[in-house]
Structure 1
């Protein structure tokens, strides 16, 4: 429900003050190194460093150049400090360049700031996730036990999770599609001071794999608040959490085939539609639960490769689960006569990025 306050009132009005942290955020959102930004505005990298650290402030003409180069309004730099976020959980830090990591983290700050502004005007669900820490040694809890407790916490009845994104959004998690600059990065998640965020890859146009991605990131959010992101152990634990959340062992094991002989592929196809998971996830689950042996599993994966199913599996559902929290808030504001320009007025935030973050569909030029 709209409470009558202008969302942009949460940000400081444009003034002579220049916040270097916001310059860092804008530069990282643009995917630029300091040297690249310096070259774009014909200044030295040392000057950019000084502005970001706060030891010096640029003059008005330079602020205008920075705004133009970074595609923000000049008043963006006069706002308060960007939201604090934890380091994102990426699938692989080694394969993710540092500049892409920085851009993804900055986008998380942007989404957190937008969510905070929207929440000043529109009521959001309470941020409420279970705290189920799982350490590397799994001394107090395993990922499977954490997933079972999570299902109980969320009140998931026996059987498939009907809508994974809706499940996490009801718990106050902000789910968005990533912006174009980091679309090559797989799904990732991060904690903020207000509410957690899950960022989905807009390029992965696969209903079944996307559901697993969301469950995987939920695993990080409830198990790994203090874990080092990108570690092999944490990633494996998040996969095990997602498998148990979406395919509880006791419920699915009796129906998994021990090999892919006979009508097993038809059986797997039916299980795929019922549980809303990929064939690859079902085969991995069958092996992990000891239903399928290593040889049968390898043969099944060879068949998957031969059929081209490692890249794109057959499936009956082609429409992705879509996030709705930010999109619905944007629609409520629009229905109340507050358009995007009014909402962003005074903030200096990118209208294009706002449209991406508050969209129900993956990024495309037509959606902006």
Structure 2
């Protein structure tokens, strides 16, 4: 984030138009509790709470202190930004027990920044329309109901037969925003949420595994399809998303005849390459469908553990599938004459975070963007259609 606070006039303008929810967002991005921010600016936690809930407005000097403490410009706090990032239901984190609320808030705030960036970009670039069907799945839904939801999605998206292609590109082409998260929040794993603008998936930047990432995307897609009104993080909800992902990536009627009833590693290796799923996922699917007995499955997993395959299975690992909707849009706008920094300013996104959410690859750092973009604005009314190839 930029650490340079602007003039007194900028801080004064921000104080007059101060939006407390933007302060909450900035605090979450910084990974701070209210008392931590209060200590940083020499105020009380009660004062910080008052700024955030709108019952008190900070003075210009306090806005300047907030900018220094949180690494944002004064304009970050100005009211008026469309509330695209408001959720329709809570974000779906994998485990609520293994991560702190501070880390979850920090991770989710990055997703909100991604939504703001996408909303700014879409004033100039036409993204694919949102096409994610919703299925009613009860808490005690049978496997068949969950399988029906996955099969319906395949049919709706014209993917009835065979392995799914580039799954990140597939979901992007149906209106889902996909970005990599920040390394410091990687403990929350991949997560997703719906909002008033479009569905969002945030992928784990440290999970350098093509097969696991594909399963993560299918899992989060299950949440978006089935769990818009469900309480996140529960065992049943997560298991349903796992079953959805398994059926989506390995449809029962197609994969069952191919699955071995024993740990045939050669056959499993071929299936892994053909279907874009790990051998461990294939073993679990074989047991789930009754092709492999529980005893055979447990023995196979013992072998997997003994050979160190839980972390890295044998054979070449393809490169991670990369998000390209936002990165390609930025490239198009630069080609039309719009500076990247102007887009970040329009979205009120700190430049480092703007670069992170518009990157094709995961990154553990957020350096400033190079100042090599075209400086002029795009022609009036320019609207570029964008669909991934």
TM-score bracket, normalised by the shorter chain, equals: over 0.9
**1:192 aligned residue:** 195
Q: Distance in 2 between matches of 1:315 and 1:44?
A: 57
Give the alignment of 1:209-288 within 5 angstroms: 209-260=212-263, 264-288=264-288
Q: Distance in 2 between matches of 1:14 and 1:126?
A: 34
**1:338 aligned residue:** 338
Query: Secondary structure of 2:95's partner?
Result: coil
| 1:80 shift after superposition | 2.7
Q: Distance in 2 between matches of 1:62 and 1:15?
A: 8
**1:28 aligned residue:** 28
Q: Distance in 1 between matches of 2:329 and 2:176?
A: 14
What are the ranges of 5 or more consecutive residues in structure 2 without an aligned counterpart? Answer: 1-12, 369-389
What are the ranges of 5 or more consecutive residues in structure 1 without an aligned counterpart? Answer: 1-12
Which of these residues, 83, 86, 104, is aligned with residue 84 of structure 1?
86
**1:130 aligned residue:** 133
For the pair 1:156 / 2:173, whether they are aligned, the reply is: no
Work out the number of aligned pairs and report it. 353
Instruction: Name the TM-score, length of structure 2 as normaliser.
Output: 0.87
For the pair 1:167 / 2:146, whether they are aligned, the reply is: no
**2:45 aligned residue:** 45
| 1:192 shift after superposition | 0.6
CA contact (8 A) 2:21 2:53 kept: yes
Q: Distance in 2 between matches of 1:177 and 1:345?
A: 21
CA contact (8 A) 1:75 1:347 kept: no
After TM superposition, the structure 1 stretch with the greater mean CA deviation from structure 2, 75-84 or 110-119, is 75-84
After TM superposition, the structure 1 stretch with the greater mean CA deviation from structure 2, 152-161 or 104-113, is 104-113
The 3 A distance-change label for structure 1 pair 95 and 362 is same
CA contact (8 A) 1:31 1:181 kept: no
Query: Secondary structure of 1:183's partner?
Result: helix
After TM superposition, the structure 1 stretch with the greater mean CA deviation from structure 2, 290-299 or 177-186, is 177-186
CA contact (8 A) 2:326 2:358 kept: yes
Instruction: Name the TM-score, length of structure 1 as normaliser.
Output: 0.92
**2:96 aligned residue:** 93
| 1:14 shift after superposition | 5.1
Q: Distance in 2 between matches of 1:237 and 1:313?
A: 26
CA contact (8 A) 2:353 2:366 kept: no
Tell me the C-alpha RMSD between the 2 structures.
Answer: 1.7
CA contact (8 A) 1:143 1:240 kept: yes
| 1:318 shift after superposition | 2.9
| 1:96 shift after superposition | 2.0
Query: Secondary structure of 2:290's partner?
Result: coil
The 3 A distance-change label for structure 1 pair 185 and 140 is closer
Q: Distance in 1 between matches of 2:206 and 2:237?
A: 24
| 1:367 shift after superposition | 7.4
CA contact (8 A) 1:118 1:329 kept: yes
CA contact (8 A) 1:191 1:221 kept: yes
**1:75 aligned residue:** 75
| 1:105 shift after superposition | 2.0
Q: Distance in 1 between matches of 2:346 and 2:108?
A: 23
Q: Distance in 2 between matches of 1:315 and 1:342?
A: 44
Q: Give runs of ≥4 in structure 1 deviating > 6 Å.
A: none
**1:329 aligned residue:** 329
Q: Distance in 1 between matches of 2:165 and 2:45?
A: 51
CA contact (8 A) 1:176 1:200 kept: yes
**1:358 aligned residue:** 358
CA contact (8 A) 2:93 2:192 kept: yes
CA contact (8 A) 1:258 1:292 kept: yes
CA displacement 1:210-260 (0-9 Å, x = unmatched): 000000000000011111101111110100000000000111111111111
